[in-house]
Copies of this chain bind each other. A is one copy, B any other.
Amino acid sequence: MNAPARADEAERLARVALCLASEPAEATITRTVAQEGAVAVRQRLLATGRIGGTELKAVSARLRDVEPARDLECALASGLRFVVPGDEEWPTQLDDLQHASDVVEGRGGPPLGLWARGPARLHRLVDSVAVVGSRSATGYGTSVTREMCAATARAGWAVVSGGAFGIDQAAHRGSLAAGGVTVAVLACGADRVYPLAHERLIEHLAQHCAVISEAPPGASPMKLRFLARNRLIAALTRGTVVVEAAPRSGALNTARWADSLSRSIMGVPGPVTAMTSAGVHWLLRHGATLVTNGGEVLETVGAAGEHLTVDVRGPERPLDRLSVRQLQVLDALPAGRPAGLSSIARIAGLAVAETERHLVDLTRNGFAEQSAGGWRVTDYARS
């Protein structure tokens, strides 16, 4: 048996160095690294302080100070690993970020690598959906999220979210409750916990699934890192479901990334009177797909025909089986005292012979009943 593929160690160390010296999603760096490799980019920055036309003095200065081998060793010792392109575990769908346009100018590109804790293998995230939304979610939003994520988990799909309060938390918990794989992508270092109140949840994910980040170990959660993190949630998954989101919420930023990556964008509707659903309704008015449960999520992101939902129109009612002519006769039948054939035919506007034929069928199917005085409609037909 072959050993699993691993990236070149010099390349890995150069990526660690660039990761330590720059902010996540600095597009000039990430895109050039994806094209030319980190070894070349690191050397060029050390030598010239620039990439192409862009001066990156601060990054170059930091590059001189960092000790990637030592930091990587520390990280490994503390249970973190650094997954890079070329590793078997690398989720290759992240490479799509190379050609996605930036949602925030100059911020984008594939991550230099992923710091990860936990047993879940990241290349298995190919069958995954992102479920994100408001931190101040309602009871409605969290309960719909849990059920939806439990359903996707039961179908073998992983749920990716951000570990935050509200919808994120409900997404992780719903998937866990159904025994699924669920991964938190953090804006801070993967060795840290944010928000602090979610320490138990995030440690549980690190024990049983995975917690990942492109920011180096120890990094604090900062605004720009949340925006950068959102693009990873969108890029890792086949589609992003936004459950509840106020206008201008971070979940909409994730949805914009999904759009720029040509991934599916889905939204769960709610009352139009709830501000917590206003951002979702905005998405749904601008091309997102409305989903009401896990089955519909899978139908949207799954392979064609793989997950067909049951038609919501529900079971056929007995009346649906009748022809228009039969309905005309049924409409002409009295509910009380039975009527004669000629009277029924007149009211139905049909010939007597045709009316009689339909009456025989309607009686056989339980819609009409015949007695001495003629025909009348049954309780069954009126139910």
A284 contact from B59, B143, B290, Cβ within 8 A: B290
Q: By the criterion CB–CB under 8 Å, are A324 and B273 in contact?
A: no
Could you tell me the distance in whole angstroms from the C-beta of A55 to the nearest C-beta in chain B?
A: 8
Counted per complex, copies of this chain come to 2
How many Å lie between the Cα of A223 and that of B317 in the bound state? 14
Q: By the criterion CB–CB under 8 Å, are A349 and B247 in contact?
A: no
| A331 touching B223 in the complex, CB below 8 Å, given contacts A58-B345, A272-B268, A349-B59 | yes
Q: Does A281 contact B (CB under 8 A)?
A: yes
Q: Does A218 contact B (CB under 8 A)?
A: no
| A350 touching B106 in the complex, CB below 8 Å, given contacts A248-B314, A271-B140, A281-B269 | no
Q: Does A370 contact B (CB under 8 A)?
A: no
The residues of B that contact A291 with a CB separation of less than 8 Å are 285
In A75-126, which residues have CB < 8 Å from any B CB? Answer: 104-107
Q: By the criterion CB–CB under 8 Å, are A247 and B282 in contact?
A: no
Q: By the criterion CB–CB under 8 Å, are A281 and B248 in contact?
A: no
Q: Does A372 contact B (CB under 8 A)?
A: no
How many Å lie between the Cα of A330 and that of B224 in the bound state? 10
| A58 touching B23 in the complex, CB below 8 Å, given contacts A224-B331, A328-B224, A331-B223 | no
Per-residue contact bits, chain A 337-377, to B (CB 8 Å; 1 contact, 0 not): 00000000110111100000000000000000000000000
How many Å lie between the Cα of A284 and that of B296 in the bound state? 13
Q: By the criterion CB–CB under 8 Å, are B268 and A270 in contact?
A: no
How many Å lie between the Cα of A316 and that of B105 in the bound state? 18
Q: By the criterion CB–CB under 8 Å, are B284 and A269 in contact?
A: yes
Give the interface size bracket for A toward B: 35 or more
The residues of B that contact A248 with a CB separation of less than 8 Å are 313-314, 317
How many Å lie between the Cα of A327 and that of B296 in the bound state? 38
Q: By the criterion CB–CB under 8 Å, are A247 and B313 in contact?
A: yes
| A271 touching B272 in the complex, CB below 8 Å, given contacts A248-B314, A296-B285, A349-B59 | no
Could you tell me the distance in whole angstroms from the C-beta of A319 to the nearest C-beta in chain B?
A: 8
The residues of B that contact A314 with a CB separation of less than 8 Å are 247-248
The residues of B that contact A47 with a CB separation of less than 8 Å are none
Q: Does A260 contact B (CB under 8 A)?
A: no
In A157-182, which residues have CB < 8 Å from any B CB? Answer: none
Q: By the criterion CB–CB under 8 Å, are B106 and A324 in contact?
A: yes
Can you identify 19 A-B contacts, CB atoms within 8 angstroms? A58-B345, A58-B346, A58-B348, A58-B350, A62-B349, A144-B273, A223-B330, A224-B324, A224-B331, A248-B313, A248-B314, A252-B313, A269-B277, A270-B271, A272-B292, A278-B292, A282-B312, A285-B289, A285-B296
Binding site for B on A (CB under 8 A): 21-23, 57-59, 62, 104-107, 140, 143-144, 222-224, 247-248, 252, 268-273, 277-279, 281-282, 284-285, 289-293, 296, 312-314, 317, 319, 324, 327-328, 330-331, 345-346, 348-351
Closest 8 CB pairs of A and B: A269-B269, A272-B292, A222-B331, A247-B314, A247-B313, A57-B351, A284-B290, A282-B312
